[in-house]
Amino acid sequence: MKAIVDRDACISCGLCESICPGVFKLDDENISTVIVDPVPEEFEDCAVESKETCPTNAIIIE
């Protein structure tokens, strides 16, 4: 599984990082970034939850 963040759509709310800190982290510009590729199996559920709760649909899961 691969997670991608659309940096233009991210509004820096931090939900993804709070739900799945093993995959997402806000960078120096307070934009979400993916910190692992591919997403480890143990983080797949929280990565999908982060995608589903993102208020701007900035997270893509492949």
**Domains of the chain, start order:** 3-61 (3.30.70.20)
Average pLDDT over the chain reads: 98
Straight-line distance from the first to the last Cα atom of the chain, in angstroms, rounded to the nearest whole number: 6
Q: For the segment 29-49, what is each residue's pLDDT rounded down to a tens digit?
A: 999 999 999 999 999 999 999
Cis amide prior to 55 (ω within 30 degrees): no
Written as six digits, the tokens of 40 are 């480890």
Helix (H) or strand (E) holding 4: strand 3-5
DSSP string, 10-46: -----HHHHH-TTTEEE-TTS-EEE--SSPPGGGHHH
Output the pLDDT for position 31: 97
